[in-house]
Structure 1
């Protein structure tokens, strides 16, 4: 175990929590109308033709054909990203991959999957999916539309995942029901919100997921996106009535497919109690791989990441 002891933060990124305490955290109760809110959004997303457009990318790689892709999402937003296709074997599965709140400037060519079409999408407002007036930096993005659950940008970002699934199925119809999701941090929180309401997604992998247990998320000190929302609250009043509809831990209680989740015990950007709230909430088949730290370098990072990579490969081979 190599949980960092030295750090530059004015707060303890472990929040003084023992592993036992972290594993005992329960998710918040869903607000009235939670399921109907998301089911209605999903139904609306399914009415949209994603119209995926694929073009050549000059990136060369031994394992992957790398393509640029765009597709239509809700609210007239065009989503950009990359599509990886295997050079060897057949496309038997699909995988939608989210990103952290730093955005994404290139695909991960070391994805440990085979026979898989891998869609790296950029969430609306960020990187290849720039969409003014949505801010492209995390501190502004996480506040966009927060005045109402219907206008909050996070809902649209979840719809971007669902339309990414639709785009893969439009390109490869036989993948319906054989599509996974993988996301880290921001992308992990989005995945927890998206997966339970989309039966086309058959498994998910979430690393250091954010947006879990919003009452804690709004209170615990952090250098992550929650800090912007906490500052906003101090000036404009509580936003809990909005963000509780976007609670990744509450949503995780609805997930019924196999899950791999990797929460961290030390994390200055996403408070570990919020991460473990998501992991603990999963009611079905799940594997929990505990990291010593997230969003921070530490002694055993390479070793743990290698082990997690192996678990990831096995997990997405599981079907």
Structure 2
């Protein structure tokens, strides 16, 4: 059990040891039409003409040239973000869709350098979030964003954010056709951290364009358990909302990242934390434990919490990510 000095009014390790965490999986009561719901959402997203537009060069570093990009997602929503292309006109051999945390994304930041050399990537801002995803009517603060449209599975913003990742993949394939599947297999990887990790887990089972994924401290895992665990992240807004709207427990099962993981057979690397005040570790480990395919676990001492080992842990995870995608993309 990880322990750090802190002033939170709860235990961010939630009294669980690693052995305890490794026994937590997906909820038992997934909706009967969970798969049908998500397959329909995926087919809708694949039918979108994303019409990506690449902007001028904004930055060049770490072996890539970074451009702004806009593309269309479900509902005709036009979103923005960044595209990273191999420098010096080199042809891409791999592609990545890289989700962001609930703080949004103001710039490409630490998601560049990319996991593999000779890669292209799209770094989208999902609707309502980040400098290039702001939309009138959708809150841009996580505590409110996570509740937007939550009264119905068909209006909940999380479903549309998942679709934004699928449409981002379509946009990348249109801009960089080399990132699409070849006779050797998929050339596209999916990465997400925290909020982006939860969205990635929900997106992954239905989209065979992705060959492998890496999810860091993923949220939305095992909602029934999450509703019992205090935190300082978006989950606390949902816990508070549920007290006066108990009917939300009929909606949340459709957006359970651990349930989705139980349908995922693609190789997936999960970095899960033993101590995390924002995304309770039991939910993170539920996503890893539920994975139905080849999986790898990177145990972090802490997530969403700076500590003396933060930099070393980040470097270790970067190395694991490079090795993992190198082994699984294009196989």
TM value normalised by structure 2 = 0.93
User: 2:100 maps to which residue?
Assistant: 99
Q: Secondary structure at the match of 2:61?
A: coil
Residue 240 of structure 1 pairs with residue 268 of structure 2: no
Q: Distance in 2 between matches of 1:109 and 1:260?
A: 19
Q: Distance in 1 between matches of 2:3 and 2:24?
A: 22
User: 2:217 maps to which residue?
Assistant: 208
Q: Secondary structure at the match of 2:299?
A: coil
Q: Distance in 2 between matches of 1:206 and 1:302?
A: 18
User: 2:271 maps to which residue?
Assistant: 262
Q: Secondary structure at the match of 2:201?
A: helix
**Once the 2 structures are TM-superposed, how far is the Cα of residue 80 of structure 1 from its aligned partner?**
0.6
Deviation >4 Å, runs of 4+ = none
Equivalent pairs counted in the alignment come to 318
Q: Distance in 1 between matches of 2:178 and 2:115?
A: 22
**Once the 2 structures are TM-superposed, how far is the Cα of residue 62 of structure 1 from its aligned partner?**
5.1
Gaps spanning 5+ residues in structure 1: where?
none
User: 1:70 maps to which residue?
Assistant: 70
Q: Distance in 2 between matches of 1:22 and 1:104?
A: 30
Superposition pairs for residues 154-303 of structure 1, below 5 Å?
A: 154-177=158-181, 178-303=187-312
Q: Distance in 2 between matches of 1:170 and 1:277?
A: 35
Aligned partners of 1:4 and 1:298 also within 8 Å = no
Q: Distance in 2 between matches of 1:166 and 1:61?
A: 25
Q: Distance in 1 between matches of 2:275 and 2:45?
A: 36
Q: Distance in 2 between matches of 1:62 and 1:209?
A: 26
**Once the 2 structures are TM-superposed, how far is the Cα of residue 256 of structure 1 from its aligned partner?**
1.1
Q: Distance in 2 between matches of 1:151 and 1:93?
A: 34
Residue 126 of structure 1 pairs with residue 146 of structure 2: no
Larger deviation, residues 144-153 vs 223-232: 223-232
User: 1:316 maps to which residue?
Assistant: 325
**Once the 2 structures are TM-superposed, how far is the Cα of residue 269 of structure 1 from its aligned partner?**
0.4
Q: Residue 112 and residue 201 in structure 1: after superposition, are their counterparts in 2 closer, same or farther (change >3 A)? A: closer
Aligned partners of 1:96 and 1:165 also within 8 Å = yes
**Once the 2 structures are TM-superposed, how far is the Cα of residue 301 of structure 1 from its aligned partner?**
1.6
Q: Distance in 2 between matches of 1:227 and 1:153?
A: 17
User: 1:150 maps to which residue?
Assistant: 154
Deviations 1:194-246 (A, max 9, x none): 01000111110000000000001122000000111111112233411111100
Larger deviation, residues 146-155 vs 123-132: 123-132
Q: Distance in 1 between matches of 2:240 and 2:25?
A: 26
Deviations 1:171-209 (A, max 9, x none): 222322311100000000000000100011111000000
Aligned partners of 2:3 and 2:13 also within 8 Å = no
Residue 14 of structure 1 pairs with residue 17 of structure 2: no
Q: Distance in 2 between matches of 1:54 and 1:197?
A: 27
Choose the corresponding residue for 2:113, options 91, 99, 110: 110
Gaps spanning 5+ residues in structure 2: where?
182-186
Q: Secondary structure at the match of 1:58?
A: strand
Choose the corresponding residue for 2:143, options 132, 136, 139: 139
**Once the 2 structures are TM-superposed, how far is the Cα of residue 284 of structure 1 from its aligned partner?**
1.3
Alignment RMSD (CA, Å): 1.3
Q: Distance in 1 between matches of 2:62 and 2:175?
A: 23
Q: Distance in 1 between matches of 2:98 and 2:25?
A: 27
**Once the 2 structures are TM-superposed, how far is the Cα of residue 164 of structure 1 from its aligned partner?**
0.8
